[in-house]
Amino acid sequence: MTTLATGIARWTLGLCAGILMPSEMAISAPLVPTAALPSRPASNLASTAALCAAVFPSSIRQGALYSYGHQLRSEQAKAWVVPFGASAIDVAVASDGTVWFCQPTLVSLTAFDPQTETFTLNNPGFVPPQGVEKDAHGILWLGLATGNFGGKLGEFDPSTLTHTHHPLPYPNSLPVHPMVTPTGTVWVLDVSHNRVSEFDPGTDTWLQSVVLPTPGSLPTSMAKDPATGALYVTCYEVDKIAKLAPGQPPTEIATYWGNPFGGVWANGLLYYALFSHPWLLSYDPSTGVTKTYAFAPAWEPAGSVLALPDGRIAVGTRNGWGNVYFFNPTTKKFRKYQFPSSIQGDITSPMTVGPGGNLWLIKTTLTESKLVRLKIP
């Protein structure tokens, strides 16, 4: 198949899904053995018609594509160009309001003071940080994948600027994007080794390290069900959700073709997005049903997903758009917020909520990155 034909097939499927499909669709996605899960089509063009037909089952419920858009006012959104000539990824806000984000090419966990509007480089032990998340005690956890002292989970105390490194329990590890659970343990992804590992800061021990069922699945995000303790992992390359339930072997949940990522837990559901389509999906473990919500035209896919404290889900978009859509789980509607022309760029890194109800995120273009503060509407 030519590159052009492949592109046409992807666009056709996206058009079918993003424009023609109502905003809510329910499918049944029970846990099934790995061998029985559907695989990605070998020919996108040949399977486009079948895939488009598959998104119109009798269980579709009508709904608007999204509600309506808002142009953000200057006082609602403010941006600062990230200095030092390097891109930025991920963001976390410390207890004192300092905003921290990763600059891997500078080997820096960089700090931004919103009061003085100044940036400060901080080297986490000669290792490029790949992901940062704050725990309930104000500690920042880092994925330290490569470089000197790589292959470790980083523990950083912003109050003392001290670093502690925790080697993973297997050789040649490449940990990225840690996630702090409601119980205080820290999970970390290893894309190259197709596994996830759990660390207990209280006992300074690794509790488990699990290889995901499908080889080469490319795990991209994690979310934990606090009621059952089950961990859900989006498997980008194989279009599956891996489920790690306590005391049970890993299982997998089929999802749509389109590269799942951005998993978060809210309202008793797993929410995640598809990198190839403008869809937000929710999975209900009590029923095994996945619902799909289209929020934008096919050419504006998701880049980041965040669960807000009030239960809404924020979705940042890319492909040159960089808008934020807020999904209301009660009304099943989206509200779109468009940034001023002075604040352009894709939203592809995890977002976070800081003090005062502010949403912090990174917007990136080919030439620069901007740290953005948005007052949550």
Asked if the structure places residue 120 within a domain, the reply is yes
| pLDDT, position 125 | 63
Q: Count H helices, E strands: the chain?
A: 2, 31
CA–CA gap between residue 135 and residue 182 (Å, rounded): 9
Task: Summarize the chain as % helix, strand, coil (round to 5).
Answer: 10, 45, 45
53: which 2 tokens?
Answer: 């037909």
Asked if the structure places residue 52 within a domain, the reply is no
139 is in which domain, residue-wise?
3-41+60-375
CA–CA gap between residue 9 and residue 115 (Å, rounded): 49
48: which 2 tokens?
Answer: 């486009």
Q: Identify residue 112 by its one-letter amino acid code.
A: F
Q: Which of 67, 69, 76, 68 is nearest to 376 (CA)?
A: 76
Q: In percent, how much of the chain has pLDDT > 90?
A: 62
| pLDDT, position 126 | 65
| pLDDT, position 70 | 61
Asked if the structure places residue 47 within a domain, the reply is no
Asked if the structure places residue 48 within a domain, the reply is no
Residue 298 or 147, more confident: 298
pLDDT digits (tens, 9 = 90+) for 185-215: 999 999 999 999 999 999 999 999 999 999 9
Is 172 exposed, middle or buried, given 0-12, 13-18 or 19+ CB atoms closer than 10 A?
exposed
Average pLDDT over residues 299-310: 94
| pLDDT, position 310 | 95
| pLDDT, position 152 | 92
Q: Which of 288, 230, 232, 242 is nearest to 263 (CA)?
A: 232
Cβ-based neighbour number of residue 32 at 10 Å: 14
pLDDT at 175 over 80: yes
Least confident of 19-23, 92-96, 362-366: 19-23
What are all long-range contacts of 57-63, with beta carbons under 8 Å and residues at least 24 apart?
57/25, 57/27, 59/25, 59/26, 59/27, 60/21, 60/22, 60/24, 60/25, 60/26, 61/22, 61/24, 61/25, 61/26, 62/22, 63/22, 63/23, 63/24, 63/332, 63/333
**Could you tell me where the beta strands, DSSP code E, fall in 184-338?**
186-190, 195-200, 205-211, 219-224, 231-235, 240-244, 251-254, 260-266, 269-274, 279-284, 289-294, 302-307, 313-317, 324-328, 333-338
Asked if the structure places residue 55 within a domain, the reply is no
Average pLDDT over residues 17-37: 34
Average pLDDT over residues 54-77: 46
Average pLDDT over residues 2-8: 37
pLDDT digits (tens, 9 = 90+) for 93-115: 998 999 999 998 888 899 999 99
> What domain count does the chain have?
1
| pLDDT, position 105 | 85
The CATH number of whichever domain residue 31 belongs to comes to 2.130.10.10
pLDDT digits (tens, 9 = 90+) for 115-125: 999 999 887 66
DSSP letter string over 46-58? HHHHHHHHHT--T
Average pLDDT over residues 297-326: 93
As a whole number, the mean pLDDT across the chain is 81
CA dist list (Å): 109 to 4, 63, 101, 123, 184: 41, 43, 6, 6, 22
Asked if the structure places residue 53 within a domain, the reply is no
Asked if the structure places residue 101 within a domain, the reply is yes
Residue 181 or 23, more confident: 181
DSSP state of 147: S
Asked if the structure places residue 54 within a domain, the reply is no
